[in-house]
Structure formats: structure tokens, C-alpha cells
């Protein structure tokens, strides 16, 4: 965030293309940006407070800006791309395809009801008390992500992400965390089919998970004091892992290597497709 905001524009309305193109160090208060494109493209040091954005692509190639108590309508699709050093507070985003190829962004108390294809290719992302819905393909190929207090509904999320820490989240997502690397999740609830396939160094601590065929084809998987629900069947196929599970597991299929301790396991399936070294140690309490 740049300092020295020297000009305030209040209670103004803007429309058309590039209404405030390349302006710097401007504070916008109670302004409305009507239909049009690229209203604040190539800007720096912008502070927007209680503003409404109705047109497409308002913040592209922006540097060091703050957005607080604002509203992005559905018409403001793809509003923030190719930008860096953003702080967004207490804002509602009804527009899809937000935040692409961005660096250093912090979202606090932000709601995104239509988060489809949002947060792609972003780096150094902090989320606090954020809610997203309709979030298919959220966080594609992003890295260095820190999340706390988070609710999500939407499939295929966090694919190809690296270096992620998530705390206190409720995530409803089919095919979540595929092909990820170095992801740690604490004290969270994750519901959805095919969780964490092909992941590397995925760690789940005190998490509750549910959904068929979880945690298959994973490398370096760690689970500590987790609970697995009634739909967690055919788990851990072709995975190497160390897991302590404080519940029963419906079924485990062809684990490759490692150690599993669970309260109970309904069925352990090993067939001709199990891969070497086939040395997973499985323990149950009952």
C-alpha cells in the first residue's frame, strides 16, 4: 500500500472506458463506477471506501491499493487482475473470475457468492473470515496462501497449489487439493469426493473429512487425530502415508506404504493391483 494519498474524490459517478486511467494517490469515497471498462487501470496508491463497481475490469495492473466496505456487482466481472499489494476489507463481491495473476493480497471479512474461477495464479495470499460460494476451480495454480476462518462451497478447488496453510475452515468441494504440494490444514471440516488425489506433502491435523475415495495416490501424506465420516470408503489407494484416525474407516484399498492407526476399519482390500513396496502397517483399536 502506497502512502501520501493527496486527493479525495467523494460522491462522484463515473462511466465509460478508463474513467480514471493511471491516476495515483487518490482516495475515492462513496463513488459509483457505472458500466464501462478499465475504470482504474494502471493506477497506484488508490483507496476506495464505500464505492460501488458496476463495470468490467476496474482494477487491472494496479499497484498498492486498498478497498474497504465496497460492492462489486455482477457486471464488474474480472475486476482485479495483474495487480499487486491489495488490501480488501468488509467487501461483497458478486462478480465472478476475480483476482488473477496477483501478488500480495489480503482479504478480511470478504464475501464472494459467485467465486467461479477466482484467485488463479496468485502469490502471497492472506484470507481472514472469508466466505465463498459457487467456487468451482477456486485457487488454481496459486501459492503461498495463509487462510484462517473460511467457508467454501465449490468444486475442484486448490488444484496445483503450493505452500498453503489453512485453519478453522469448512470446505465443501469435490476434487479438492489435487496435485498440491506442501499443504497443511488444521481444525477444519472437508466434505467432498476424491480429496487430495496426487498430492505431495499434504498434512491434516484434527480435521473431519467425508466423501468417497479420499487421499489416494498421495505422497508424504500425514494425518494427526483426524475423523473420517461414513462416506470415506476405498481410502488411501496407492498412497504412502502416516495417519492416526480417531474414528472407524469404512474401507481401505491397496495402500502402498506407511502406517495407519484407526479406531476400526470395516474392510481392508488388497488385490493384484497393489503396488510395491506394499508394506503399510495397519493397526486398529478394536
Tens-binned pLDDT, residue by residue, of the chain (286 aa) = 445 667 999 999 999 999 999 999 999 999 999 999 999 999 999 999 999 999 999 999 999 999 999 999 999 999 999 999 999 999 999 999 999 999 999 999 999 999 999 999 999 999 999 999 999 999 999 999 999 999 999 999 999 999 999 999 999 999 999 999 999 999 999 999 999 999 999 999 999 999 999 999 999 999 999 999 999 999 999 999 999 999 999 999 999 999 999 999 999 999 999 989 999 999 998 6
pLDDT in tens, 29-67: 999 999 999 999 999 999 999 999 999 999 999 999 999
pLDDT in tens, 139-149: 999 999 999 99
239 backbone dihedrals φ, ψ, rounded to 5°: -110, 150
Topology of domain 1-113, per CATH?
Pectate Lyase C-like (2.160.20)
- Which ranges in 94-235 belong to alpha helices (H)? none
User: How far apart are alpha carbons 270 and 79 in whole angstroms?
Assistant: 51
User: How far apart are alpha carbons 123 and 142 in whole angstroms?
Assistant: 6
Closest alpha carbon to 249 in 200, 282, 201: 282
- At residue 187's C-alpha, the angle toward residues 166 and 121, to 5°, is 15
Pair 217, 233: CB distance under 8 Å:
no
Domain boundaries, the chain: 1-113
State pTM to two decimals: 0.95
- Within 13 Å and on the Cβ side, how many CA atoms surround 206? 6
Task: Report the run of H or E that residue 123 belongs to, with start and end.
Answer: strand 123-132
Amino acid at each position: 500500500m502506497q502512502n501520501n494519498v493527496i486527493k479525495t474524490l467523494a460522491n462522484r459517478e463515473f462511466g465509460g472506458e478508463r474513467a480514471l486511467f493511471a491516476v495515483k494517490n487518490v482516495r475515492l469515497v462513496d463513488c459509483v463506477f457505472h458500466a464501462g471498462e478499465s475504470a482504474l487501470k494502471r493506477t497506484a496508491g488508490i483507496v476506495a471506501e464505500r464505492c460501488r463497481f458496476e463495470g468490467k475490469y476496474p482494477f487491472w495492473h494496479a499497484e498498492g491499493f486498498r478497498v474497504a466496505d465496497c460492492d462489486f456487482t455482477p457486471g464488474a466481472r474480472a475486476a482485479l487482475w495483474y495487480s499487486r499489494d491489495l488490501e480488501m476489507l468488509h467487501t461483497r463481491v458478486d462478480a465472478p473470475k476475480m483476482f488473477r495473476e496477483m501478488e500480495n493480497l489480503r482479504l478480511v471479512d470478504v464475501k464472494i457468492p459467485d467465486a467461479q474461477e477466482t484467485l488463479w495464479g496468485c502469490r502471497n495470499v492472506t484470507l481472514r473470515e472469508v466466505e465463498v460460494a459457487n467456487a468451482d476451480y477456486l485457487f488454481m495454480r496459486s501459492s503461498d496462501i495463509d487462510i484462517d476462518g473460511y467457508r467454501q462451497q465449490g468444486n475442484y478447488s486448490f488444484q496445483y497449489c503450493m505452500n498453503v496453510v489453512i485453519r478453522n475452515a469448512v470446505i465443501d468441494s469435490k476434487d479438492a487439493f489435487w496435485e498440491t504440494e506442501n499443504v497443511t490444514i488444521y481444525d477444519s471440516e472437508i466434505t467432498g469426493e476424491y480429496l487430495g488425489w496426487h498430492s505431495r506433502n499434504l498434512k491434516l491435523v484434527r480435521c473431519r473429512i467425508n466423501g468417497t475415495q479420499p487421499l489416494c495416490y498421495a505422497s508424504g501424506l500425514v494425518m494427526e487425530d483426524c475423523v473420517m465420516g461414513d462416506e470415506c470408503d476405498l481410502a488411501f489407494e496407492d498412497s504412502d502415508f502416516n495417519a492416526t484416525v480417531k474414528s472407524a474407516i469404512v474401507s481401505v484399498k491397496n495402500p502402498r506404504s506407511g502406517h495407519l492407526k484407526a479406531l476400526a476399519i470395516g474392510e481392508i482390500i488388497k488385490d493384484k493391483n497393489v503396488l510395491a513396496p506394499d508394506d503399510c502397517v495397519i493397526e486398529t483399536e478394536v
